[in-house]
Amino acid sequence: MALLDAVLPALVAVGMLYGLCALYGVEFKGFFVVLAILSAMLSLLLPRGQPAQPPQLVQSTVPLAIRVVVRWMIIIAILLAIGFVTKYSVDFSRRVVLTWAVTTPAVLILVSVCLHELMRRLLHDPSTVRRVAFAGCNEVSLSLAHRISRGAMGMQVEGFFDDRSAQRLGLETPARLLGSLPDMVSFVKRNQIDVVFVALPVSHIRRVVQLLDELRDTTASVYYVPDIFAIDLIQARSGEMFGIPVVALCETPFYGYRGVVKRITDIALALAVLLVAWPLMLLLALLVRLSSPGPAFFKQRRYGLDGREIMVYKFRTMTVLEDGPNITQASREDARITPVGRFMRRYSLDELPQLVNVLQGQMSLVGPRPHAVAHNEEYRKLIKGYMIRHKVPPGITGLAQVNGCRGETARVEDMQARIDYDLEYLRRWSPLLDLKILFLTAVRLLRDEKAY
C-alpha cells in the first residue's frame, strides 16, 4: 500500500495525459511521451509530505487537497522552466496540455482520498488491530504512544511499564501505568500483547538486554526505541549498512533522490533568472567599472559543501577587495561602499553573479549563506555546531536572511542567531520550504532595513 501511495501521482499523471490524447484524437508520441516521462520522474522525486496520520474521507480532505495541489503546481512550474530554458518548440495540442494541467490535480485528490480511506478502513478493522505495551515511560515513549494513538496505524496502546510511580512520572491517568518492569513479561503473556516497544535509555543497556531475553518466551514483536533525543539531531533516520542496522544522528537532508530534486530545481531556476537578468547584469558591471577604480567583479574564498573552499562571485560594491586572514564586515555607514555599490547592496543585486556559482554546483539558490574563510575560522571556535551548516551547499538566500538575520554581526549572539536558523533549515528542509524562502526573499528585498 505504501508503494502504491508513492507511485500513485506518477501513474495518474501519465494515465491522464494518455487518456486525454485518446479523448481528443491526438497521437501519443514525441512531445507527449517526453512530457509523460518528465512528469512521472518529478512526481516520484518530489517528497509527498505525508501527514502524521492517514487522512480520513471527510475530516482531512482539505489538507490532503492542499498538498496535492501544491505539489502539482511545483511540477508544472518545473516543466515550464525546463520548456523555457530548452526552448522546446514543436507542434502539440495545447488543448490537451491545458486540460491535463487543470484536471490532473482533481483526479489525484479523488484517487488519493479513496486510497487513504481504504487504508483507514483496513487499519481500523478489529481483526487486524495490534495491542502495544511500552517498557519505559519517558519523553520518547510518550511521544511515540501519542502518535500511534493519533495515527490510525492499526495499533492500540495498552500502557507503560516503569519502576517509577505514576505521580513521579506525571502521567495523565494512573491507569496508563500497568506496572513495574519485572511485571511486564507476565502481562504480555496473559493479555496477548502483540508489540512491545523497549524505550529505556542507552545507559540502561544491561536492563534492556535482560528484558529482551525474557521477552523471547512470548510471541510479541519487540522494537528497541533508544532514547537518543537529548542529542541535537539533524535529519535523524534509521536504516542499515551492509546488513548492519544504523541510526543517523547528523546527516545532510540531500541524500538520495532529495539531492537530485534540489539540483534540478537549482539549475532550472538559475538558468531562468539568468536568461531574464543578463541585460541588467551587463549594465551593473558597466556601472561598477565606470563609477570607481577596480574590477567589476569581486571574488572571495568561502567555505562550501563539507567545508571545502570555493570562490564566490559578486559585483564589486566597495573600494577594497578583502580576502585575507582579517576581513572587516560592512557596516551601515561604511565609507568603503561606493554609491553604485550601496544601491546594489540595498536590493541584493550584487549577488546576482552567484547564479554562476549555482550552475557550477558550488552553491544553491537556498541554503546557509557562505561566510568568508576568516570569519568561519573565527566563529567555529565560538559557536557550538557551527560547521554543521556546511553539510549542505551554501545558498544565495536562506532561512536566516528571511527572518531578518543579515548585515553586520557585531556580537557573537548575532552570529548565533544565524546559525540557529541555518540548523533549523537542515532539520526542516523540503522543496516547499525552499520555495517559501525564495518568495519571502523577493518580498523582503523591497523593504529590508538590514540591507546595506
**Residue ranges for the chain with pLDDT beneath 70:** 1-6, 47-61, 87-92, 119-128, 151-153, 171-175, 227-233, 324-325, 448-452
Q: Which of 389, 304, 292, 283 is closest to 339 using CA atoms? A: 292
Q: What is the 3-state secondary structure (H, E, C) of 298-319?
A: EEEEEECHHHCEEEEEEECCEC
Task: Give pLDDT, residue 134.
Answer: 93
Whole-angstrom distance, CA of residue 419 vs CA of residue 408 = 14
Classify residue 450: in a domain, yes or no.
no
Residues 391 and 322 in one domain: yes
Q: Torsion angle of alpha carbons 160, 164, 167, 170, nearest 10°? A: -60
CATH code: domain of residue 217: 3.40.50.720
- Cβ contacts of residue 159 below 8 Å, gap of 6+? 133, 134, 175, 176, 177, 178
Residues 186 and 277 in one domain: no
- Cβ contacts of residue 196 below 8 Å, gap of 6+? 132, 133, 134, 135, 184, 188, 215, 218, 220, 221, 222, 223
Classify residue 438: in a domain, yes or no.
yes
Residues 261 and 343 in one domain: yes
Classify residue 174: in a domain, yes or no.
yes
Q: Torsion angle of alpha carbons 70, 73, 79, 83, nearest 10°? A: -150
Tens of pLDDT, residue by residue over 125-163, are 556 678 899 998 888 888 888 888 776 567 888 999 998
Residues 105 and 161 in one domain: no
Residues 94 and 149 in one domain: no
**The C-alpha cell that represents 154 in the structure block:** 492499526
Phi, psi of 133 (to 5 degrees): -135, 150
Residues 74 and 170 in one domain: no
Task: Give pLDDT, residue 185.
Answer: 92
| Domain boundary pick from 123, 140, 165 | 123
**The C-alpha cell that represents 253 in the structure block:** 537532508
**The C-alpha cell that represents 358 in the structure block:** 549555482
User: Which contiguous run of DSSP H or E holds residue 283?
Assistant: helix 257-291
Residues 154 and 295 in one domain: no
Whole-angstrom distance, CA of residue 348 vs CA of residue 296 = 16
- Cβ contacts of residue 315 below 8 Å, gap of 6+? 284, 285, 288, 296, 297, 298, 341, 344, 349, 350, 351, 352, 353
Residues 292 and 395 in one domain: yes
Structural contact between residues 244 and 234, judged by C-beta atoms closer than 8 angstroms: no
Domain that holds residue 210: 130-230
**The C-alpha cell that represents 261 in the structure block:** 530534486
Residues 366 and 336 in one domain: yes
Classify residue 136: in a domain, yes or no.
yes
| Domain boundary pick from 77, 95, 123 | 123
Residues 423 and 398 in one domain: yes
Classify residue 364: in a domain, yes or no.
yes
Task: Give pLDDT, residue 310.
Answer: 93
DSSP designation for 201: -
Q: Are strands 309-315 and 297-303 parallel, antiparallel or unpaired?
A: antiparallel
| Domain boundary pick from 80, 104, 123 | 123
**Number of folded domains in the chain?**
3
**SS3 of residue 38 by DSSP:** helix
Tens of pLDDT, residue by residue over 278-335, are 999 999 999 999 988 889 998 989 999 888 899 999 999 988 877 766 777 777 777 8
Whole-angstrom distance, CA of residue 8 vs CA of residue 354 = 38
Classify residue 62: in a domain, yes or no.
yes
Classify residue 250: in a domain, yes or no.
no
Task: Give pLDDT, residue 156.
Answer: 85
Task: Give pLDDT, residue 279.
Answer: 93
Alpha carbon 432 to its chain's center:
8
Classify residue 239: in a domain, yes or no.
no
Task: Give pLDDT, residue 359.
Answer: 95
Q: What is the CA radius of gyration of the chain?
A: 27
Residues 115 and 143 in one domain: no
Task: Give pLDDT, residue 355.
Answer: 95
Residues 99 and 208 in one domain: no
Cα–Cα–Cα angle for 46, 51, 53, nearest 5°?
145
